[in-house]
Amino acid sequence: MPEVARAEYLEELANLEASALGGLDLVNIALGRTLEAVEHQDIELAQIVVADDDRIDGRYLEVHQALITLLATQSPVATDLRLISSLLHVLKNVERMGDQCVNVCKVIPISGNEPPADEEMVRLILTMGRQTKTLIMQSKRAFEERDVEMAQDLVRQDDVVDDLNRDCFRLALEIGDDIDKREWAMTMLLAARALERTADNAVDIGEQVAFVVTGLFREFEDASHPS
Amino acid sequence: MLGSATKRTAPEEKKAEMTDSRAAGATSTEPVTKAAGRPAKTIETRGVNLFYGDFHAVEEVTMTIEPNKVTALIGSSGCGKTTFLRSLNRMHELTPGARVEGAVTLDGEDVYDSRVDPVAVRRLIGMVFQQPNPFPTMSIYDNVAAGLNLNSTKISKSQKDGVVERSLRGAHLWEEVKDRLDKPGGGLSGGQQQRLCIARAIAVEPEVLLMDEPCSALDPVATLAVEDLIGELKSRYTIVIVTHNMQQAARASDVTAFFNLDETGKPGHLVEMGPTEAIFTNPNEKETEDYVSGRFG
């Protein structure tokens, strides 16, 4: 009898976890490129991000299918079952984050090659993006290490993103009467919104960490009933 | 009192009980499956220790088995779950050298009281075994009526017909066998034989049904049929099922109790008992987690 029963199954589950969480690395790369494209108004780089989203979607489909197969063939229960359920959620979040990068990249060409950019607003969006990257990597580490405290800290990190998002909104309101500048500011608000959603997805992953560890699901923050 | 072994009082009480159940069988035209739920009885064990000679098989089991629920006993071979099951209706003591310490009560009445007749206990707490064991040459009808014949001398043919039909309907077997009740029970398929044994067990109107791996000799279709039946029977009985099939425990039971032993030769003990859903999604004990996840190599 092997040292540990079901060794192959456990190895497969561990590999699938690594693949699902590896999706967060792909998102991190996509977000990094997205921010670079925003900063330099780089339409070509933005197009690469859009095209590369297929890799993230591919990761989603591949790991999702493998997890369904494990459910069908291995009858996982207890922690294994909670882990698989969480990974299905994480995958969905990964896929959504990739789509949000695409959303940002798609608005870059709208604002043209030489937009009437407001430096302060670009700075706010880049800061938001960098903070969101921090959240993404922290959510990955919290999951890998099953660290509920680190997962809960994502809420604090997310508040920074939310504040920056509100700052963007205020700045857009005060951007002035120039029609081109106002149009540019509106597209940047869409980008800010996409980043805010991405950070929120990272918090959702944190909630899954708590579920895997404790077996209880609870929202870290309830948007419909804020404390 | 469950039924006394003292000759002076036993016949009256047993007769009273049998009269009641016969009356229920004879007057009720409703098949068991359609009958509304009835309150069944609670089994409680306190500090139960079971021995085979010098061998201490089960150690200090204290648990409450709730009425109208299916309780599954799971655990690896040798952990004492079947021994424990057999102690609940005093079958354990039929093994030479076997001994029981501690208390088992049925709705507060001591099953092991010296004045209690073990046969009366086994009528109230029926058992279905791993291998379907109908009397092979006896007719289907007589198989179901066997318990009645043993427990009572006075029962009319029409009353008996009523009980046999009700029991076979209750065991989901009536439609399949109603035209061949006089054929031998041994001629049925494995799944049908097991349902025949369940019909035989419920014919005497027990309070509790103990099932020792009732599906391990059955194919998947027959297994699911018996599991469905168990789900229906719980509205009338307290059911305890021993199973090696964890998915069966997960599917068919409301409460799961996990038994384990520290090493071969040591007594088995109860590790954890709780709602089946909790045991299979988030058990409290690591030992339980390892077992239900299949990490017991």
pLDDT value for B38: 74
Residues of chain B with pLDDT under 50: 6-35, 297
What is the per-residue pLDDT for B199?
93
The per-residue pLDDT for B218 is 83
Tell me if chain B has a CB within 8 Å of the CB of A81. yes
A224 touches chain B (CB under 8 A): no
What is the structure's pLDDT at B148? 81
Please report the pLDDT score of residue B36 as a whole number: 55
For A2, the 3-state DSSP assignment is: coil
Dist CA A203 CA A154 (whole Å): 6
User: Inter-chain contact A78–B294, Cβ cutoff 8 Å?
Assistant: no
Cβ(B80)–Cβ(B261) under 8 Å?
A: yes
pLDDT digits (tens, 9 = 90+) for A56-105: 999 999 999 999 999 998 989 999 999 999 999 999 999 999 999 999 99
Bridge partners of residue B74, in order along the sequence: B258
- With CB atoms and an 8 Å threshold, state whether A77 touches B297: no
A216 interaction partners in chain B (CB closer than 8 Å): 282
Whole-number pLDDT of residue A109:
81
Identify the band that residue A163 occupies on the pLDDT scale cut at 50, 70 and 90: very high
Task: Provide the b/e sequence for B270-296 (b: ≥16 CB within 10 Å).
Answer: bbbbbebebbbbbbeeebbbbbbbbbe
Domains and CATH numbers, chain A: 7-214 (1.20.58.220)
| pLDDT of residue A149 exceeding 70 | yes
pTM for the structure as a whole: 0.81
A5 touches B at CB < 8 Å: yes
Cα–Cα distance list, B200 to B1, B70, B203 (Å): 24, 19, 5
What mean pLDDT is predicted for residues A14-24? 98
Predicted pLDDT of residue B161:
94
pLDDT-above-70 percentage for chain B: 86
All structural domains of chain B with their residue ranges: 10-292
pLDDT at B222: 85
Query: What pLDDT score was predicted for residue A39?
Result: 94
| Closest chain A residue by Cα to residue B292 | A77
> Which residues touch A208 (CB under 8 Å, ≥6 apart)?
A86, A89, A90, A143
Buried/exposed code over B114-144 (b: 16+ C-beta within 10 A; e: otherwise)? eebbbebbbbbbbbbbbebebeeeebbbbbb
Q: Which segment of A28-42, A44-58, A108-122, B229-243 scores lowest on mean pLDDT?
A: A108-122
The complex's ipTM? 0.76
CATH fold of the domain at B10-292: Rossmann fold (3.40.50)
Residue type, A153: D
Using a pLDDT cut of 70, give the percent of chain A over it: 96
Token output for A46: 């933005």
A130 Cβ contact list (under 8 Å, min separation 6): A35
The reported pLDDT for the residue numbered A115 is 79
B290 to chain A: closest CA residue: A78
Which residues in A lie closer than 8 A to residue B288 (C-beta atoms)? 78
Tell me: the pLDDT tens digits for A43-53? Answer: 999 999 999 99
A94-120: b (≥16 Cβ within 10 Å) or e = bbbbbbbbbbbbbbbeebeeebbbbee
> Is the distance from CB of B209 to CB of B240 less than 8 angstroms?
yes
